[in-house]
Copies of this chain bind each other. A is one copy, B any other.
Amino acid sequence: MQGNDILSSQPAWLDEAELAGIRSKMPLIYVEAVPVRIDHLGRVERVGLLLTPQADGRLARAIVSGRVLYGERVRDALWRHLSKDLGPDSDPQIPADPSPFTVVEYFPDDRSGFTDPRQHAVSLVFLVPISGEVAPSESSLAFSWLTVEEACSITIASEMSGGQDRIIRMAMAHAGVLP
């Protein structure tokens, strides 16, 4: 966390009890990133997925995901979570457009098709080309570059949770490569 990105006069830290209390009363704002490899013409060639313990306790393939902190810019949150999950040399290409390609709403129940047992979260989802070397953090068990067909397959969908398989297909549709 860089000092100039966070409002210095305000506490960005919440203890777990406070966060749990807020989670039952307010929607939280998240950023999520679908990591992709693109060629020199911008065509998506691979989709990167982590293998990570999820909020529901299952081990699942997942995209990069995390909370926006008090005082933090959306761009900084994207950079922070991508650098943490994919490593300091991953060189994510954060898009110039501040608008996500889609907005996903997670709820504890199934009202939206996207679920998170912990909270109501509004997630700004970006497609982020990765041009460097990926070294997943300790919190992930593995990271894999899949072909677009694999990433959109029923097999991989069954290994994802909370509806994130739909996010992958929406990202591929956005990039014009949905099979």
Contacts and interface: CB of A to CB of B under 8 A. Distances in A.
Interface of A: 7, 10-12, 14, 18, 22, 24-29, 36, 38, 40-44, 68-76, 78-79, 93-105, 107-109, 111-112, 120, 122, 124, 127, 129, 166, 169-170, 172-176, 178-179
Contact of A75 (B12, B42, B99): B42
Nearest to A124: B103
Copies of this chain present in the complex amount to 4
Given A10-B24, A71-B107, 20 more contacts: A12-B25, A26-B26, A26-B70, A27-B69, A38-B94, A40-B94, A41-B78, A68-B122, A93-B93, A93-B129, A95-B95, A96-B174, A97-B127, A98-B175, A99-B100, A99-B103, A102-B173, A102-B176, A103-B176, A173-B178
Given A76-B41, A93-B42, A175-B98, A22 B22 contact: yes
B25 A27 contact: no
Contacts of A69: 27
Nearest to A111: B73
B94 A42 contact: yes
A36 B93 CA distance: 14
Contacts of A178: 166, 169-170, 173
Residue of A28, A29, A70, A98 ringed by the most chain B CB atoms within 10 A: A98
A104 to B, nearest CB: 8
A71 to B, nearest CB: 6
A45 to B, nearest CB: 10
